[in-house]
Chains A and B, each alone.
Chain A
Amino acid sequence: MIQRPYTVVLIVPTGVGAAIGGYAGDALPVARAISAICDRLITHPNVLNGAQLYWNLPNALYVEGYALDKFASGCIGLQPIHQNRVGLILDQGIEPELRVRHLQVADAARATLGLNLTDYVVTDAPLNVELRTAASGASWGTIGNPDSLLRAAEVLIQQAKADAIAVVARFPDDLGSEALQAYRHGQGVDPLAGAEAVISHLIVRTFQVPCAHAPALMPLPLDPDLSPRSAAEELGYTFLPCVLVGLSRAPQFVESHKAKFQLPAPTQNFTSRRGDIWASDVDAVVIPASACGGSALLSLSRQSQTQIIAVEENQTSMQVSPEDLGIQAIRVNSYLEALGVLVAHRAGISAEALSPSLSSLHCLSVRGKPASRST
């Protein structure tokens, strides 16, 4: 029997202090587990990026948040590829020694992993990233020179023929802040994550190519009490390796001719073909139960065939449940339980049938008349 590929979207929103996935790529074990029981896993850099650490998941698609939103809305499809040429943008604000460290990562990725990188570009002005924590507790950020970022990306795409963009921006060092100390100890919100997302969103929105970001920071003093969830970001000088690996096989984007929304720019030279993945192919979405207010989930919730699984244990600083927005979802306590729901869903087994209590069917009324149960 031929079945359609079972496709799962895993979302752990960036910069909202998710208990699992709010730190140094610490939702990667969740992604690994889900990828083992589905045919295709679509997830985003916040889930898969562990700075120096990464894991190759052959059936996972690495899709940046802006593209994930557009994919969910039906604007674009995802086209799996064998290899991207990755172009690297370095912020002019990065100190010379730190710049060399990042270039050595790029060379190492070429020599040791065999990745295909183009020549790199240094922005024509410092990007001047500014961090902000909003009233909700989420981290956000703004970019002082977005035009400089976009000019650098344009050079890589048009001259160097890059088909994916890695950005390294100099982020403010914040050694003494309470937020950083809490983050290093596996608590609170990643103070950098919101601004990182803004950088990659700008490039994806403008050029419709895969993009991801790694911050450049001075190494922190040793902390013997570092949380395991944050430790992957303190293994070396840069957070770049996972970004280059993720982008090297990130799917390209194809534009839907049926899309209701106009894209700001046409997609690159990729035309739709068999095997492209569209929102209608998504069978299930797994999301923290308190963080259901993102664009991607709102879009996917309109599809009756898509099972939304809300995980309560992965608490965040958001306060938006599926019920608040009228989204039909199965609530589970943990990702372990979510895995069980996915397995049952894929097998065509009602999750209700796996619990001890199963109520009898009720007869629906026809034209307002309740029907009695026949015997």
Chain B
Amino acid sequence: MSHSLSTVTMTTHFITAEIDIQETPVQLQQAIEAELQKRGEPLRWAITRVDSDRQIAQVEAIVTVESDTAAAL
């Protein structure tokens, strides 16, 4: 492990996001992970609905945030 757990304060957060549909499923997956990464470390996510008119994927996710970035949420 890269760090001692005793020095880390982690919190878990439920978030939602809207992601533009991409050309391929793998590109969409990468776009989702990149977006979630801005808000914490992605732990679990799923596309829950696709708005085909707007070409948007709605995503629900849990991300974890360590103590020094928790205030950003």
Contact = CB atoms under 8 A, between A and B. Distances in A.
Interface of A: 13, 16, 65-66, 132, 134-136, 138, 140-143, 146-147, 150-151, 154, 197-198, 201-202, 205-207, 264-265, 291, 293-295, 297-299, 301-302, 318-321, 324-327
Contact of A154 (B5, B16, B23, B58): B5
Contacts of A326: 23-25
B13 A136 contact: no
Nearest to A297: B25
A298 B49 contact: no
B1 A146 contact: no
Contacts of A140: 14, 60, 62
Contacts of B25: 297-298, 301-302, 325-327
A137 B2 CA distance: 37
A294 B60 CA distance: 11
Given A265-B2, A326-B24, A319 B49 contact: yes
B50 A319 contact: yes
A66 B62 CA distance: 12
Given A142-B12, A294-B46, A325 B28 contact: yes
A265 B1 contact: yes
Contacts of B24: 302, 326
> A interface, by DSSP: helix, strand, loop or mixed?
mixed
B17 interface: no
B47 to A, nearest CB: 3
Interface in B10-31: 10-14, 16, 21, 23-26, 28-29
A291 B45 CA distance: 12
Contacts, number: 109
A324 B11 contact: no
Nearest to A13: B46
A205 B12 CA distance: 14
Contacts of A302: 24-26
Contacts of A201: 43-44, 62
A260 B28 CA distance: 16
Contacts of B5: 147, 150-151, 154
Nearest to A266: B1
12 contacts: A16-B46, A140-B60, A143-B12, A146-B11, A151-B6, A201-B62, A291-B46, A319-B49, A319-B50, A320-B57, A324-B50, A325-B28
Contacts of B59: 293
A147 B9 contact: yes
Given A147-B5, A325-B28, A136 B14 contact: no
A320 B43 contact: no
Contacts of B49: 136, 318-320
Nearest to B23: A326
A298 B28 contact: yes
Given A136-B60, A326-B24, A293 B10 contact: no
A295 B45 contact: yes
